[in-house]
Structure 1
Amino acid sequence: MSKFTEDSKQLLEHIGGSENIVAVSHCATRMRFVLKEDKKADIKKIKNIKSVKGTFAQAGQFQVIIGNEVPDFYNEFVGVSGVDGVSKDKAKDAAKGNMNFIQRMLANLAEIFTPLIPALIVGGLILGFRNVIGDIKLLEGGTKTITQLYPFWAGVHSFLWLIGEAIFFYLPVGITWSISKKMGTTQILGIVLGLTLVSPQLLNAYDVAKTAADKIPFWDFGTFHIQMIGYQAQVIPAILAGFVLAILEKNVRKIVPEYISMIVVPFLALVPTVIIAHTVLGPIGWAIGSAISGVVYSSLTSAFGWLFAAVFGFFYAPLVITGLHHMSNAIDLQLMAEFGGTNLWPMIALSNIAQGSAVVAMIFINKKTKPEEEQVSIPAAISCYLGVTEPAMFGINLKYVYPFLAAMVGSAIAGVISVASGVMANSIGVGGLPGILSIQPKYMLVFSLAMLVAIVVPFILTLLLSKTKFAAKFAPED
């Protein structure tokens, strides 16, 4: 009998038994259930199980936080329950049966960017490091950068752009690959499609605006022309093209005999998609992306930018609960492509910090009365300050409610400071405290002030709220 046997039996009982489980999987810290009837799960009793650190429902799944030992717990639970586990992807597919159309659409879009996040984070760190050594005048009385004085670091600066360019300029390749993977179609065709959007023979997307219309190169087909415009760093054209390719391939495969499908299907799926991408989808997607980024940028830089910042800063954390926060990646990347940076992403980093600071306050509040809670709260706070907020929100802040609200308020105030000061990030990257590395050098000082606000305000507000009737009203039962 393993140390999780009894806890697994209790979880099975309180979740409604094996007959209530449609699918079960696990991620890094959580058990993920798709249930026939969510109301059969006794959340209060589940939270009282020794190994359980919290529960929440998201994207059609009932999730139980276990911690780093979740693989062992999962194996024991599968043995006790007799339920066959499935992959996370299959569990997500099953969960979509519990969603409406809008939720399914947004979940699908979010899943496109999830596999790309590691690369985007690496790219953000690289651009941030290049900021430090190549853009900030740290030496000789603030007149020289490190790269200006040291050839070695100048070489590092130049070399690292090889990776940064691969991640951000050639982002459409990653998007079309991710869509092919998600849709279960031929992934190499997705990669090839992405490459046709960023080929070196095309006019670079960054040069289109400064090129006269009659100077843009084109393919001459006699009776008509197709402009040779690239879509480097463009998000929406790649999404549209990726889905058209997947849909075409699936439908062509249905009607083509199996014995010639290897030859016919790739040709009839890829070639028409590339043509459509460069004649219809690319221009339309560019227009849509420019409109979205233009609206966001104008909102953040207008006289009412502070209001937009306050609303976004306040509600970003609830977006994380729904899983819709991944959608902000697309907007950030579009802003980077259109304006050479993003003023949205700095607010996300500040929201991460604010949630962590609320947890730190809870550590202080419960230090004597609930010392065992530090097993969850200390790692959760560290995780927040490094850009991952889910352990803090689901393990601590939402459990008590008032620290979550305190963090939302702190995030809103810090966001207003950031936007009112015109703070721009070169790229998205690691959230939380390391996020300052992605901020454009001239804004680092004022962003530091916003970070300080995101640390101090949630901490103090959490302490104050802990002494109110509001906190007592939502106090979890031990």
Structure 2
Amino acid sequence: MKTPTSKYKESVKELFESLGGYNNIEYFTHCMTRMRFHLKDWTIINEEKIKKDNQLMGVSKSIATGEFQVIIGTDVQSFYKDFCKINGFEEDGKNRSHLNAKQTDFLVKQSSEIAAMKKAHRKGGHHLTAFLSFIGKVFSPIVIPMIGYGLLLTIWSLLTVDWNGPKTSLAATSHFFGEFAEILGILTGSFTLFITIVLGYTVFKAMGGNVIYGLIIAIVLTAPGLINMGDVKVPDGESIISVYPGWTLFGKGITYPFKINYNGLIIPIIIVLSVGVLIERSCDRIKNSTAKMIISPIVIIGGGYLFGLFIMAPIGMLFTNYLSIGINWLSTHYVAKYIAMPIVGALYGPLVITGLHHSLTPIILQGQAAYGGTNLQGLITISNITQGVSTIAFVCVHRRIRNLKNVGVSNGISAIIGGITEPSLYTVNLKHLFPLIGCSIGVFSGSLLFVASNTFALQGASSIFGILMFQHIAPLKTGVITWIGGGYLWGTLSILLSISVAFSTTFILGKTKYFWNRSRNILLEDFGEDIEELKKFTKLEWNQKLLIEKNNNLEKKKTLK
């Protein structure tokens, strides 16, 4: 097999060696911008060598998830593939046949992601670490499809929203757009089903189970014979339990179990699938291979289905219902919404650093499934855009550090346009601290206006394009009314308020003595330029200096040609 040639060839080799090689790497994966390593011994890592690599943006140590994270940037997928190919790993963490005997033996015993995940789930005292790692693995594979889904859902929403009273939508006033909205409606409606079913794959994969079993359980629990919770009409004075259709298995008048369809029930389906993996592990203990082959599928699929139907369905129905009600209450209560939700928005940046932001995904999906929209998605959009603006504000404070512009501006734009904040966080905002503080203050302000105006959003893009996810009017089920002007207006104003406050705060904090001196030392170490020395140039002298350097560079290019 030929070794791949790529711009990352040397970097992946050096990173592999710096992390301790096969003897220290238990398993690894990646997210949107980072390689995430689970290592046996962190003390042998050559961190300085990693930081000096120009292809890498830095490192982050997540105690919460037990991960040593290497920040790559938006091209992380290519870097990940090269790391696997050049260092002899399969992309799922399994060993490769061309490895030498020593390497293969190690990988078979220790480096398999499946073995590591099982170990993490069995290990006492590390439940939080295992949970956070599990959440990341479950939702990371569906992030990109969800963005596409969100954009499609936005188009459908624009076609079907009543802009000026009943039956004033494009779909209602135009035959073409009406038919087109119906076509899109099938696509967007099916996507919630896709997310529920694909969780069968990601949950089983994350816990080291057979993904086929996971898919089957998820499909069975979303079968057409079961009824979606949103389709059940509850008369005044009745509870959902008293009217929900079900089987009268234990006699007439006793409705149990309920015919609950798991389509859109994100948290319950994850729990059921997790139980399915535990059942599979129990079946793995069967020693007779013939008996194991016959019994395992019946017990795993049947056990998962019955657990979901008889136990998790009623519990999940109540839990997810009241959880969504709680989030909705926090976001609509005339007092609580001004406190709780802005704090969530302000803390979203730090949550990304710790990896805890993944825990919001099931709540967002559940809220959208239950209420038709969520303001959590809007707060994330505000946070991501503001994160990029804070980075650019930092560049403005230290604009005479020329190499900083290349890093800061590009990473800031990545957050604003792409919604990918890790490059901004790890190269500037977290490193220098005051941009992160300024961002959080700005996001708090913008989130306060967003929530106060009763603006909601659909799951999807979390960048500048997230404006398209804002809903013109609050979903009916939330019980609130969006301020005059609509969600697009107030959502946009919330973003403008957030970035204005963040830019100003970041700029002011950057000029304070403490943060100025702190950043001066960091920039001197990173770029070899002293901002105090550069400040001594007058504006005219500085422009002349830049002109001379530009001419010198042109001369060098001519000489090379």
Q: TM-score, normalised by structure 1?
A: 0.86
The residue that corresponds to 1:129 in the other structure is 155
Quote the Cα distance in structure 1 between the aligned partners of 2:75 and 2:311. 50
The residue that corresponds to 2:500 in the other structure is 456
SS in 2 for 1:62: strand
Which deviates further from its counterpart, 268-277 or 174-183? 174-183
Instruction: List per-residue Cα deviations over 1:339-380 (Å, max 9, x = no partner).
Output: 2221222111111011010122133334332x2233332332
Quote the Cα distance in structure 1 between the aligned partners of 2:498 and 2:290. 62
| Runs of 5+ unmatched residues, structure 2 | 94-111, 474-486, 527-561
- Kept in 1, the 8 Å contact 2:27–2:116? The answer is no
Amino acid at match of 1:285: G
The residue that corresponds to 1:47 in the other structure is 51
Amino acid at match of 1:463: F
Matched ranges for 1:415-426 at <5 A: 415-425=447-457
Amino acid at match of 2:54: K
Are residues 1:434 and 2:499 paired?
no
Instruction: List per-residue Cα deviations over 1:275-321 (Å, max 9, x = no partner).
Output: 22111111111222122222222222221211112321221111111
The residue that corresponds to 1:65 in the other structure is 71
The residue that corresponds to 2:546 in the other structure is none
Quote the Cα distance in structure 2 between the aligned partners of 1:3 and 1:338. 47
Amino acid at match of 1:164: T
Are residues 1:218 and 2:246 paired?
yes
Q: What is the CA RMSD across the aligned residues, in angstroms? A: 3.4
Cα distance change on mapping 1:344 and 1:362 into 2, 3 Å = same
Quote the Cα distance in structure 2 between the aligned partners of 1:228 and 1:132. 33
Instruction: List per-residue Cα deviations over 1:75-120 (Å, max 9, x = no partner).
Output: 99899xx965464665697598699321212321332222222332
Matched ranges for 1:67-82 at <5 A: 67=73
Amino acid at match of 1:418: F
Quote the Cα distance in structure 1 between the aligned partners of 2:77 and 2:161. 44
SS in 2 for 1:55: strand
Cα distance change on mapping 1:114 and 1:83 into 2, 3 Å = closer
Quote the Cα distance in structure 2 between the aligned partners of 1:78 and 1:167. 32
- Kept in 2, the 8 Å contact 1:123–1:168? The answer is no
Quote the Cα distance in structure 1 between the aligned partners of 2:380 and 2:356. 13
The residue that corresponds to 1:308 in the other structure is 340
Are residues 1:118 and 2:180 paired?
no
Quote the Cα distance in structure 2 between the aligned partners of 1:217 and 1:74. 49
SS in 1 for 2:260: coil
Note the C-alpha offset of 1:43. 4.5
The residue that corresponds to 1:155 in the other structure is 179
Note the C-alpha offset of 1:222. 5.8
SS in 1 for 2:223: coil
- Kept in 2, the 8 Å contact 1:33–1:91? The answer is no
Cα distance change on mapping 1:162 and 1:254 into 2, 3 Å = same
Amino acid at match of 2:299: L
The residue that corresponds to 2:531 in the other structure is none
| Runs of 5+ unmatched residues, structure 1 | none
- Kept in 2, the 8 Å contact 1:348–1:431? The answer is yes
Q: How many residue pairs align between the two structures?
A: 471
Aligned match for 2:309, one of 264, 278, 284 = 278
Larger Rg over CA atoms: 2
Are residues 1:184 and 2:208 paired?
yes
- Kept in 1, the 8 Å contact 2:223–2:261? The answer is yes
Q: TM-score, normalised by structure 2?
A: 0.75
SS in 1 for 2:284: helix
Amino acid at match of 2:234: K
Quote the Cα distance in structure 2 between the aligned partners of 1:239 and 1:2. 39
- Kept in 2, the 8 Å contact 1:32–1:64? The answer is yes
Amino acid at match of 1:465: L
Quote the Cα distance in structure 2 between the aligned partners of 1:2 and 1:177. 31
Note the C-alpha offset of 1:72. 8.0
The residue that corresponds to 2:379 in the other structure is 347
SS in 2 for 1:226: coil
Quote the Cα distance in structure 1 between the aligned partners of 2:465 and 2:453. 20
Are residues 1:326 and 2:387 paired?
no
Cα distance change on mapping 1:414 and 1:39 into 2, 3 Å = farther
Instruction: List per-residue Cα deviations over 1:184-234 (Å, max 9, x = no partner).
Output: 333233222222322222232112352676764433446574332323311
SS in 1 for 2:257: strand
SS in 1 for 2:347: helix
Quote the Cα distance in structure 1 between the aligned partners of 2:298 and 2:430. 52
- Kept in 1, the 8 Å contact 2:26–2:40? The answer is no
Amino acid at match of 1:393: L
Which deviates further from its counterpart, 59-68 or 141-150? 141-150
The residue that corresponds to 1:446 in the other structure is 490
Note the C-alpha offset of 1:323. 1.0
The residue that corresponds to 2:271 in the other structure is 240
- Kept in 1, the 8 Å contact 2:16–2:87? The answer is no
Instruction: List per-residue Cα deviations over 1:95-147 (Å, max 9, x = no partner).
Output: 98699321212321332222222332222111111122221639xx9994333
Amino acid at match of 2:175: P
Quote the Cα distance in structure 1 between the aligned partners of 2:231 and 2:79. 54
SS in 2 for 1:461: helix
| Greater relative contact order, per chain length (Cα 8 Å cut-off, separation 6+) | 1
Quote the Cα distance in structure 1 between the aligned partners of 2:356 and 2:115. 17
Cα distance change on mapping 1:201 and 1:77 into 2, 3 Å = closer
The residue that corresponds to 2:538 in the other structure is none
